[in-house]
Amino acid sequence: MINLELPKKIEDTRVLLRQFSRDGLRPLSRKYDLAEQKEMPEELYELSKLLRARPNRGKDVDAQPAGETTNRNGNNLSMVVSSAELCWGDVGLFLALPTIGLGNAAVSAVASAEQQAEWGELFAAMAITEPGAGSDSAAIKTTAVLDGDEWVLNGEKIFVTDGYRSKQVVVWASLDLTLGKAAIKSFLVPKGTPGMTVTRVEHKLGIRASDTAQIVLENCRVPKANLLGNPEIATTAEARKKAFGGVMQTFDNTRPMVAAQAVGLARAALDLTEELLAEQGIELDFEKSYHQMSAVENDLYELEAEYETARLLVLKAAWMADNKQPNSRNASMSKAKAGRMGNQVALKCVEICGQLGYSKAQLLEKFARDSKIIDIYEGTQQIQQLIVARQVLGKGSSELK
């Protein structure tokens, strides 16, 4: 059974990352928000070395011996807690850290042990979205054709987070467009590979320290071994469903991590709001009865409740993954709830703080701008709700659209 208290090792890491965010990331927030993509956050390379050196990074925490069925707190729980703390510092800088990358999670989810050992430390982006395939990942048109010992990739990808600065890109492509989602596989493509071109870097509302790129693949060749997972195309309907489910397993790992970004940002907005109010003599007192609260206090209590609900959903989805329990529905629930909550909390905090919230004198307006993308990328709130509905009702994607 899940324990709602964080294990000591994870809590110790959380405390260290809060200090890292406060002293390392937060002082850079405004600088790189204003610079957008004109400057690379060079300080992040040194900061990333500190993250790589931290204890228990990438290892299971409080893992149980083989054969035991008791509680297991592993890498997924550690990662969502870590993501939230780093995003308390700055979401854009978190995404720009060389040790972070959605492609890293894809490799971790489906790569073989040999592939992971060969590729080692990664800074990998993930390229899924296309001009004609946004929320429907199964509709992608990028192709991969085997030619001897190489895969030849052709297609166009948009809205690739870290697509410009990353060292590798995990590209989703189809081995056979006539077979639909069953033929979709993912490939690790090192940057600099001939045929891969970054054609545009977007200018954005938020997370401006992190680049978002368009990538074109024209006869881009990668080794046969760079296909992630099983290269075979399933032949039966049931096998095809399982095959695409294996590809989509990536999202079961990454959606709680993205949801955790919203949790961290919301905590940052609430902390700063309460700090600014305290300077005006307004401090929260949770022992007050409802009729004794001011309107501002009532708003903040409601925001705290929304925050706590999302945080617990995220922890449960990650804990289920660590304990080998199917968590697809819970991963989507956590992403839908946290994405909406983060935006709601950040905007309300701007409203509560008035001029200070809206001006660049404080970071609240930046938190509000950064919050919106978390509700959109890695599957919009509406898509997450659709996934949850399908699983609750026991319907497939063809039955409930």
Which element (helix H / strand E) includes 11?
A: helix 8-20
Which element (helix H / strand E) includes 143?
A: strand 143-147
β pairing state of 212-223 and 150-161: antiparallel
Which element (helix H / strand E) includes 171?
A: strand 168-174
3-class DSSP assignment, residue 182: helix
Angle between helices 75-89 and 8-20 (to 10 degrees): 20
How many CB atoms within 10 Å of residue 197? 13
**C-alpha 70 chain-centroid distance:** 28
d(CA 364, CA 350): 6
Q: Which residues of 91-122 are buried (b: 16+ CB within 10 A; e: fewer)?
A: bbbbbbbbbbbbbbbbbbbbbeeebeeebeeb
Contact 336, 381 (CB under 8 A): yes
Q: Which residues contact 63 (CB under 8 A, 6 or more apart)?
A: 72, 73, 74
Tokens matching residue 181:
């989602």
- Enter the DSSP assignment of 136: -
Tokens matching residue 153:
């990739």
Catalytic residue among 287, 306, 378, 399: 378
The widest CA-to-CA distance across the chain, in whole angstroms, is 75
Query: What are the backbone dihedrals phi and psi of residue 283, each rounded to the nearest 5 degrees, phi first?
Result: -125, 140
Say whether 130 is catalytic: no
CA angle 99, 105, 108 (to 5 degrees): 105
User: Which of 217, 157, 34, 17 shows the shortest CA–CA distance to 97?
Assistant: 17
357, 363, 367, 370 alpha-carbon torsion, rounded to 10°? 130
Tokens matching residue 103:
């492609």
User: Which of 152, 197, 176, 204 shows the shortest CA–CA distance to 37?
Assistant: 204
First to last CA, the chain: 34
> Which residues are identified as catalytic?
378
